[in-house]
Amino acid sequence: MMKQTKSPHLSDVHTYLVGIQYNNPFTSNSSFFEIQRRVEMIELAVEVSEYLQHGKQSNPAFPSHANAQVWYCWSMNHPDDGDAYHELMDAIEKLKSLNTAA
């Protein structure tokens, strides 16, 4: 029996805007960057989780110890009420628990 994989439905893909604040090691101040992605929430959670755990190598670059934090996550598909912060943070927590169990 072949295992069916779930293919993303068009409704699962959203355009997200995420703001991340981090401690800038060069200026000793907080800095901020934004990403915009058209993906499923799980894909966004993987990318953001990598930034939070390992830092960012490209501009603006920051090390893993920069204490990066998600400030907001907004679904552009719902501009009037697109707050997706809790959904993103829940997805990141699920990833952490899967990695811990493995």
Exposure of 46 by Cβ count < 10 A (0-12 exposed, 13-18 middle, 19+ buried)?
middle
pLDDT tens column, 43-58: 999 999 999 999 998 8
Give the count of domains, the chain.
1
> CA 57 from chain center: how many Å?
16
- Model confidence at 14, pLDDT cuts 50, 70, 90, reads very high
Which residues constitute the domain of residue 75? Answer: 20-38+59-84
**Could you tell me which of 89, 15, 85 has the C-alpha nearest to residue 52?**
89
Is position 47 within any domain? no
Is position 7 within any domain? no
- Model confidence at 6, pLDDT cuts 50, 70, 90, reads low
Residue 7 pLDDT: 53
Helix, strand counts (H, E) of the chain: 2, 3
Is position 6 within any domain? no
What is the percentage of the chain residues whose pLDDT exceeds 90? 62
The tokens 């811990």 sit on which residue?
Answer: 100
Six-digit token string for 31: 């800095």
- Mean of all residue pLDDT scores within the chain: 88
Is position 25 within any domain? yes
